[in-house]
Chain A
Amino acid sequence: MSRVHVDTSNLSRSCNEALILGSLRGGARHGYQLALEIEERSKGMFGFNHGTLYPILHRLEKAGLISGSWSEDGGGRRRKSYELTRKGEKHTRELLEAWDEFLDAFHEAVKGERP
């Protein structure tokens, strides 16, 4: 059993966090890139309103799981991108394992087996 657990009392939030952390395993991303990537990879199943995205990103940043850094593009415009910290990498590994266990248990409960 992994140490990190899926927070079943707030599944929506827990799911969003896992989606964001999982996406960031591919490298640093801007907020809008994260939202689009999740939407595309899930074939539209998980659509992020950006209003929902920022509180999660900022909460994860405050928890030290991701770090945000500002950069300037050629036109002098500042943009913020996020990447996983070492603590975040470990947490994400454990969280995704926890989600696997959660989904196994869910399928076991509703269907008797995982498809």
Chain B
Amino acid sequence: MSWKRDVLREIDARLDLPQPARSRVILEIAADLEDTSRMLTERGLSLDEAREQATRRFEPSGDALREISAVHAAGLQRFLGRFSGASRRRWERVLLVLLFLFLLLGTRVLLPAPDLFASAGPGLLAVVTVTVGALLLSALKLYEAFVRQRQDSRRMRRGLDWILGLAGVDVFVGLSAFWLGLYGVAGRSTEDPATSLLYLFEWLVEGTATAILALQAAVLLSLLWYLLSRRTETVARFEAEALMAAD
């Protein structure tokens, strides 16, 4: 039986925190627990006495664990905390299925309509650049997670949020291009009111095509980020469990 395992398992069971914060807290406590025990043996205590004293020092109080959870819980987490874990997982799956359906539907609309790409405005270049960059990063992360099967959550997490950030940039560019186009049309219509309707239709085609492509790219990138985040969380959980099992 591991002497650390009981302490860490108790903390893990009572700590109401999502991953990766949960694993980080356990990792921190585990390292300090080990160091305290080693320091006590260096001071002349027997191994058993040192472990017993270290365990006593680390015995977590309910208040302390609640406070740690409160410190780390973001607004969204506090809201989600009202639902049970099973309920949260069920809704995550539903959301994932809906996103896939949305993407599939979008692809069915887009593929038979290559004109959409041709119709898009100059904002498309920015969207494509950002999306290609994010896809390359995603490909690298997918390779690390599923092909090389890397088991280092800290390294896997590095740069992961860039994918979601770039998805946000896609949305921003798509919507900005849409409204900036309208601003341009308004200006040109003032100069030449006779052709204003033509400009308006041009803007509608260009703007909506760019916005649709940008939103599709953002959904795809968000899905990739979600997939990679879940994988990272799983690895982080394994790391914490391995730590608890270690002697």
Whether A80 pairs with B64 at a CB distance below 8 angstroms is no
B32: A residues at CB distance < 8 A: 30-32, 50, 79
B154 at the interface (CB under 8 A from A): yes
Closest to B38 in A: A32
Whether A52 pairs with B61 at a CB distance below 8 angstroms is yes
**Partner pick for A30 among B35, B61, B154, CB 8 A cutoff:** B35
Provide the bound-state CA to CA distance between A55 and B71, in Å: 7
**Partner pick for A52 among B25, B64, B72, CB 8 A cutoff:** B64
B33: A residues at CB distance < 8 A: 32, 50
B36 at the interface (CB under 8 A from A): yes
Provide the bound-state CA to CA distance between A35 and B36, in Å: 10
- Given A55-B71, A58-B68, check contact A78 B61 (CB 8 Å): no
B35: A residues at CB distance < 8 A: 30, 32-33, 79
Provide the bound-state CA to CA distance between A103 and B58, in Å: 31
Provide the bound-state CA to CA distance between A51 and B25, in Å: 11
Secondary structure at the B interface, as helix, strand, loop or mixed, is helix
What mask results when residues 54 to 87 of chain A are scored 1 for a CB within 8 Å of chain B, else 0? 1100110010000000100000011110000000
B57 at the interface (CB under 8 A from A): yes
Closest to B36 in A: A32
Contact-residue bracket for chain B: 20 to 34
**Partner pick for A51 among B24, B27, B59, CB 8 A cutoff:** B59
**Partner pick for A49 among B29, B57, B67, CB 8 A cutoff:** B57
Whether B67 pairs with A55 at a CB distance below 8 angstroms is yes
What mask results when residues 16 to 57 of chain A are scored 1 for a CB within 8 Å of chain B, else 0? 000000000000001111011000000000000111101100
Q: Closest approach, in angstroms, between the C-beta of A108 and any C-beta of chain B?
A: 33
Whether A79 pairs with B60 at a CB distance below 8 angstroms is no
Closest to A32 in B: B32
Closest to B27 in A: A78
Provide the bound-state CA to CA distance between A50 and B30, in Å: 11
A-facing residues in B66-93 (Cβ within 8 Å): 67-68, 71-72
- Given A50-B58, A51-B58, A79-B31, check contact A32 B68 (CB 8 Å): no
B58: A residues at CB distance < 8 A: 49-51
Whether B29 pairs with A50 at a CB distance below 8 angstroms is yes
Beyond the given A50-B58, A51-B59, A62-B71, could you list 14 further A-B residue pairs with CB under 8 A, ordered by the A residue number?
A30-B35, A49-B58, A49-B59, A50-B57, A51-B61, A52-B64, A54-B28, A54-B29, A54-B64, A58-B71, A58-B72, A59-B71, A78-B27, A80-B27
Seen from chain B, the residues whose Cβ lies within 8 Å of a Cβ on chain A are 24-25, 27-29, 31-36, 39, 57-61, 64-65, 67-68, 71-72, 154
